[in-house]
Amino acid sequence: ALAQSLPPEAGHLIAAQIPRPHPLTAREFVDALSTQIPDSTSATARWDVSSVLTAISTTIGPAVTDQVLSQLPRGYALLFGRAELAAAMA
């Protein structure tokens, strides 16, 4: 659904990715990308990632964003420009 919601070029890139056996935490994802962005720090990479993922979230809409977030480890919602609220403990 994500790949189909994006422009064809981006959708093909997403669809062609081989799934990782163990998903990265949001922090690991940002840290991994920071090594790929020239002159990046963890803070600037987080800003960059959040800017892109928030724009993607706007493009794909709330239903697909919910579907994507349901398949990712906790911590990604903030990168998509959403609050991540923990369930209240009884």
- Tell me the per-residue pLDDT of 8-63, one tens digit each, with 9 for 90 and over: 877 777 777 767 778 889 999 899 888 888 898 989 999 999 999 999 999 989 99
Which single residue is written with the structure tokens 């090594």?
A: 35
Q: Helices in the chain by DSSP H: which ranges?
A: 2-5, 8-15, 26-34, 42-70
Is 53 in contact with 79 (CB distance < 8 Å)? Answer: yes
Q: What is the pLDDT of residue 90?
A: 47
Is 69 in contact with 80 (CB distance < 8 Å)? Answer: yes
Is 84 in contact with 77 (CB distance < 8 Å)? Answer: yes
